[in-house]
Amino acid sequence: VTGVVAVALRIEQRALRQLTDVPVVRIGMGRKARVPAGSAPLLLAGVGGGLQPEVRPGHVVVASEVVDGDTRTPVPSAVLLARSLRRLGLTVHVGPIASSTTVVTGAARERLAASGALAVDMESAALVASGRPFAIVRVIVDGVDAPLVHPGTVTRGITGLRTLARLAPALREWAEAAESAREVVLAGPRSFCAGVERAIDIVERALERYGSPVYVRRQIVHNAHVVADLQRRGAVFVQEVAEVPRGAWVVLAAHGVSPAVRRQAEERDLQVIDATCPLVAKVHNEVRRYVHLRDTVFLIGHAEHEEVEGTVGEAPDRVIVIPDVATARTVEPVDPTRVAYVMQTTLAVDEAEEIASVLRERFPGLAAPRRDDICYATTNRQAAVRAVAAESDLVVVVGSANSSNSRRLVEVAERAGTPAHLVEDAGEIDLDWLAGARRIGVTAGASAPPQLVEELVKSLHGLGPVHTRELRVATEQIRFTLPREVV
């Protein structure tokens, strides 16, 4: 165990006596607090006072920054600790903690509250001054409507200490996740591809040019953060074009749509801006071309994915979705000599190739696209995560659960023999994944914003020094032109 838990008072140390396998040091209270020499990451735990009405006695506050007069110091690993504490069933707030070396009441307390701090304690500033990586958690013993009391002197203090004892499993997880030296290997390329950048750009420009609301059919790209951000800026997301008022502007998402959806939009006199990625549009073109010449088109992909739904819509009676090798082995087309195949753009390259080879073997006359349809961005991100996984103890993939290409990145890393997890953002990392993980590979799906990766790496800095390097397997320069409605 590398991390050390620090407390101010003996009674707090006693409350955490079940942490037998983690060092718990007493640093003293307020002005007398002294952080011992050393470089191990410190987690300051104890009781504190609530400064905002929503922060009630019994709640827990994890510091996202320490406010000391005019100085504000960020605490990067707050989200990691908060998740671990929430899993214990505690009510956890994440926000600034003000540090004051004296007990504060009345007007002084109001001034601290005005800084936006959720809680006040008396030792955080000493931790900041130590220069060591740190985190801070406070169990609230007094709130806005109850003046600060000395812990242990009243019932509320005793209840607070009992809650502090409940924190022990999360404090242990944090101490075990801390490292004296850790490396982060960033996969390159990662994050946004040209099709996703174009789709987001289209919605932003449409909002600028035509004003809010601009309707968007389905998630513009499969990422919750991107959708929430555009929603804030005036985009209205709908499931079907039938929900869009007649004559309004509507953007069709990057995954493409079936011709039936375009017809519905026309019937409603909608002003359509098509954000379908040109590489998805290419697969639609292939299907149209094949159905002129062949009886059956196999579409290697996942039937429930929106991209596949749209591609199948080009010729619903003639396209058969092939999700796996077993289906490829048993599928019976009308005429086995008049068949072709295409692919979903975001599949795992190796799996898709296995399925295609079964089809080629069974149907010697099988027509195929000149190049496989899995796009450059999917291929590059998978190659990069494979290289990163080979040298990492753990791989973290940033992406939404409904993002096909992000999920494939997890699978590719796992097939390389490395445990891998998909997270929406740093707030979904479980501390117990990090125990013993000295080298962590990090990547992001093509729909995940790059700043989420930056925030995730930053959060690891609170668990000890982190050295970051990039392992780049390809350089991407592809850019797609925008539709004329937004140029």
User: What is the contact surface with ligand SF4 in residues (CB under 6 A)?
Assistant: 193-196, 254, 277, 279-280, 345-346, 375, 377-378, 405, 446
Question: Burial of 339 by CB count in 10 Å (0-12 exposed, 13-18 middle, 19+ buried)?
Answer: buried
Catalytic residue among 12, 179, 306, 307: 307
Q: Measured at CB, which residue is nearest to ligand SF4?
A: 195
Q: Which two tokens stand for residue 458?
A: 């930053």
Q: Which is nearer to ligand SF4, 326 or 478 (CB)?
A: 478
Q: Which is nearer to ligand SF4, 85 or 277 (CB)?
A: 277
Q: How far apart are CA 65 and CA 73, in angstroms?
A: 5
State the minimum distance, in angstroms, from the CB of residue 254 to ligand SF4.
Answer: 5
Is 307 part of the annotated catalytic residue set? yes
Q: How far apart are CA 449 and CA 197, in angstroms?
A: 10
State the minimum distance, in angstroms, from the CB of residue 446 to ligand SF4.
Answer: 4
State the minimum distance, in angstroms, from the CB of residue 373 to ligand SF4.
Answer: 9
Angle between helical axes of 278-293 and 194-210 (0-180°, round to 10): 110
State the minimum distance, in angstroms, from the CB of residue 195 to ligand SF4.
Answer: 2
Q: Which is nearer to ligand SF4, 296 or 345 (CB)?
A: 345
State the minimum distance, in angstroms, from the CB of residue 193 to ligand SF4.
Answer: 3
Q: Which is nearer to ligand SF4, 276 or 459 (CB)?
A: 276
Q: Which is nearer to ligand SF4, 132 or 284 (CB)?
A: 284
State the minimum distance, in angstroms, from the CB of residue 198 to ligand SF4.
Answer: 8
Q: Which is nearer to ligand SF4, 97 or 280 (CB)?
A: 280
- Residues marked active site are found at 307
